[in-house]
Amino acid sequence: MVTGGAGYIGAHVVRLLLERGEDVVVVDDLSTGREDRVGEATLVELDVAAGDAQQRLELVMDERDVDGVIHFAARKQVGESVQRPAWYYQQNVTGLANVLAAMETVGAGRLIFSSSAAVYGMPDVEVVTEDTAPQPINPYGETKLVGEWLIADAERAWGLRSASLRYFNVAGAGWADLGDPAVLNLVPMVLDRLARGERPTIFGDDYPTPDGTCVRDYIHVLDLAHAHLAALDRLGQGEERVFNVGTGEGASVAEVIAAIGRVSGLDVTADVAERRAGDPPRLVASADRIGAVLGWRAQHGLDDIIASAWEAWQAGPRRIG
């Protein structure tokens, strides 16, 4: 079962699972996901945070003989989580609790959880390891950390086997029809502005970084999808349950915008705006643990990420030029 399998990252995992012949049932409320992304998988329209979700999930799990769950279904907008904290806990924590309760009832014992680098908050380190103290600075990051705790409790209580993947900055497209449909993150935000004939915006160029703009660890969504399969296949091996998913390489906002210019051939001269609240200057993963325990490492760098994002954008309705 893939919850949130009609969303941006989930749909990539669904496609990989189908490619290797797995029987996949997608559970998605289609609030941000799209039906045409799930391919041959069965789609069950269901909000995992709804009052009757546990019972409905149990029925689907029973009927389809579900033995593992990849749980993406959640809300992911930091600003919105600051405005509506209770709703974020309902959606992200209650949603996960419903999934876990249903799994326990039917005896489905394998779970991969979408966590986030947002659990780290503003770490003052060059590279973030899984042992860097988590200190989320917004409700979104809190719900992901609480989710990890709840999963660890379920492991102790009834023998669940799990992996929580802390995603760094996800971008790109593994297939041109599976680009990021939302305009919430740097790469789509730049493409969106270019499509409107506007200049990209840099939120602050006076950070303590080499070029003054914020540094992030950009991970190709297809690499991230493969990390889920690696986690699923090696579940329960080793002691570790929490993994960073990043490349170990940082790229600045200015470097990302320059890469978009190179790939597209467009003028990407940017305007510099005020800093955005809550942005850490630098957030780069150590990917050592996931390499050592799950045998996974990123295959794609920034240029591949941007080229694939561009190709997917140009395949969509808002083609530029």
Q: Which residues are catalytic?
A: 140
Instruction: Specify whether the CB–CB gap between 238 and 307 falls below 8 A.
Output: no
Q: Minimum distance between the CB of residue 277 and ligand UFG, rounded to whole angstroms?
A: 10
Member of 11, 112, 117, 306 binding ligand UFG (CB under 6 A): 117
Member of 189, 266, 315, 320 binding ligand UFG (CB under 6 A): 189
31-90 residues in contact with ligand UFG (CB under 6 A) are 76, 78
DSSP output for 52-90: THHHHHHHHHHHHT--EEEE--S---HHHHHH-HHHHII
294-313 residues in contact with ligand UFG (CB under 6 A) are none
- For 317, phi then psi, to 5°, come to -75, -15
Instruction: Specify whether the CB–CB gap between 290 and 243 falls below 8 A.
Output: yes
Binding flag, residue 201, ligand UFG (CB under 6 A): yes
167-186 residues in contact with ligand UFG (CB under 6 A) are 169, 185-186
Instruction: Specify whether the CB–CB gap between 99 and 51 falls below 8 A.
Output: no
Instruction: Specify whether the CB–CB gap between 246 and 117 falls below 8 A.
Output: yes
Residues with Cβ within 8 Å of residue 143, at least 6 apart in sequence: 74, 81, 88, 89, 91, 92, 93
Residue 61 amino acid letter = M
Dig out the tokens for 135 from the structure.
């200190």
CA dihedral of residues 92, 94, 97, 103 (deg, nearest 10): -90
Q: Minimum distance between the CB of residue 233 and ligand UFG, rounded to whole angstroms?
A: 26
> Would you call 131 helix, strand, or coil by DSSP?
coil
Member of 177, 203, 211, 315 binding ligand UFG (CB under 6 A): 203
Binding flag, residue 116, ligand UFG (CB under 6 A): yes
How many residues line the site for ligand UFG (CB under 6 A)? 20
- Which CB, 196 or 276, lies closer to ligand UFG? 276
- Which CB, 57 or 284, lies closer to ligand UFG? 284
Binding flag, residue 279, ligand UFG (CB under 6 A): yes
Instruction: Specify whether the CB–CB gap between 222 and 12 falls below 8 A.
Output: yes
Binding flag, residue 214, ligand UFG (CB under 6 A): yes
- Which CB, 59 or 137, lies closer to ligand UFG? 137
Please state, in angstroms and rounded to a whole number, the distance separating the CA atoms of residues 279 and 78. Answer: 11
Binding flag, residue 221, ligand UFG (CB under 6 A): no
Residue 117 amino acid letter = A
Binding flag, residue 202, ligand UFG (CB under 6 A): yes
- Which CB, 161 or 193, lies closer to ligand UFG? 193
Q: Minimum distance between the CB of residue 143 and ligand UFG, rounded to whole angstroms?
A: 11
Taking CB under 6 A as the rule, which mask of x and - marks residues 228-267 in contact with ligand UFG?
Answer: -------------------------x--------------
Dig out the tokens for 145 from the structure.
């950390």
Binding flag, residue 290, ligand UFG (CB under 6 A): no
Please state, in angstroms and rounded to a whole number, the distance separating the CA atoms of residues 256 and 248. Answer: 16
Instruction: Specify whether the CB–CB gap between 64 and 25 falls below 8 A.
Output: yes
Provide the binding-site residues for ligand UFG, judged by CB under 6 A: 76, 78, 116-118, 140, 169, 185-186, 189-190, 201-203, 214, 216, 253, 276, 279, 283
